[in-house]
Amino acid sequence: MNEIVLVFSFVLSFLLTLYGTPLAQKAAFRYGILDQPDGKLKKHSRPVPYMGGVIVYFAFISPISLVFDFNERLLGILFASSILLLVGLLDDLKALTPVIKFLFQVVATYILLKSGIVIDLIFFPQWLDIALSCLWILTVINAFNIIDIMDGLAAAVGALSSLTIFIISLYTGDFLISILSVSLAAALLAFLKFNWEPARIYLGDAGSMVLGLIIGSLAMMVSYTRFNRMAFLSGLFVVGIPLFDLAYVIVLRILKGRSPFLGSPDHFALRLRKKMNWSAQRTVGAILYAQLALSGLVIASFFSTPRFTLVSGTAAAGLFIILGWVLAGVEME
């Protein structure tokens, strides 16, 4: 029975996004919810509508509301993500300051913690689990928010992350995580039809922040340690690309004496594109291969040994450091 429900959820979420996105485009144009090019960081040739995040969220929650009994964790995710969706829409309309936006991220994170979505590491005291959970959610929210700088990148990475969590959840038998992750993956895969270069609609802050909150929550909820007690570290690699970009941008901006909260073309995807002289499509494709390799590492670690997790994780971190060092030499505007 569960298999039928999962297939139904995937198909419904996919179709709702496929046929609902054109409606979101029309609404964005009608009400002026558009990303205007500025010739600096935003170099697209014409205004592009936001609102993609709204239809992705609607498609994500629709099958869940039909086939799953609500519980505390699910209500926490839906309540917290609804808050971020509204806050993101206001931010897309330039109605919020970064400080106000961050405060609402804290509120949404607090709601998740109150609903019982907390990291549970038996060798840490409870207060440290709560502190790490808060830091994790806020970090992943902003990691997906900051990586949404190239057509198709955030949506495609989010789809891969969701599918990775889905595969792990099938082996752990957590049906809530399975249905949430497969519904989100389906919505994002359908959205890529409109978000791939040249993008006809963007996720916007509403979409990228909600995406970070949901994936961050699911990555924290799923159990990685059924066969390998060190596999909890795999959660880092489920969202490895967004976390790397967030850390990379912060470090480069600080080294340049700039505020890490101000926009700049220091994202590794932009640097990679310039260094290799690739199109946005090819750059995103290469990054997806990297995230796919990380997803494979997560699944392999789930079935493997602590030694494999530590060695492979160290090797992956080393490769990221080398990549960052090489790309730091690229001259950006």
**pLDDT number for residue 32:** 80
**Phi, psi (deg, nearest 5) at residue 222:** -70, 145
Structure letter (DSSP) for residue 239: T
- Tell me the average pLDDT of the chain: 89
Asked if pLDDT for residue 324 goes beyond 80, the answer is yes
Kind and range of the H or E element at 35?
Answer: strand 34-35
Q: Which two tokens stand for residue 281?
A: 């499509």
pLDDT band, very low/low/confident/very high, at 111 (cuts 50, 70, 90): very high
The average pLDDT across 126-142 equals 92
pLDDT tens track for 166-224: 999 999 988 999 999 999 999 999 999 999 988 899 998 889 999 999 999 999 999 88
Asked if pLDDT for residue 96 goes beyond 90, the answer is no
The average pLDDT across 303-317 equals 91
Alpha carbons 24 and 77: distance in angstroms, whole number: 23
pLDDT band, very low/low/confident/very high, at 78 (cuts 50, 70, 90): very high
Asked if pLDDT for residue 279 goes beyond 70, the answer is yes
**pLDDT number for residue 331:** 80
Decide: helix, strand or coil at residue 69. coil
**pLDDT number for residue 184:** 97
**pLDDT number for residue 42:** 60
- For residue 327, the Cα-to-chain-centroid distance in whole angstroms is 23
**pLDDT number for residue 40:** 61
The average pLDDT across 318-323 equals 94
**pLDDT number for residue 126:** 83
Q: Which two tokens stand for residue 161?
A: 């992350």
Distances (CA, A) of 95 to 80, 123, 181: 20, 43, 31
Alpha carbons 122 and 115: distance in angstroms, whole number: 19
- Spans of all domains in the chain: 2-328
**pLDDT number for residue 65:** 85
Pairing state between β 34-35 and 48-49: antiparallel
pLDDT tens track for 13-60: 999 999 999 999 998 888 888 877 665 656 656 788 888 999 999 999
pLDDT tens track for 225-270: 888 888 888 889 999 999 999 999 999 988 888 877 777 788 999 9
Q: How far apart are the first and last CA of the chain?
A: 55
Residue 73 near residue 222 (C-beta atoms within 8 A): no
**pLDDT number for residue 142:** 94
The average pLDDT across 73-101 equals 89
pLDDT band, very low/low/confident/very high, at 1 (cuts 50, 70, 90): low
The average pLDDT across 82-106 equals 88
**pLDDT number for residue 38:** 60
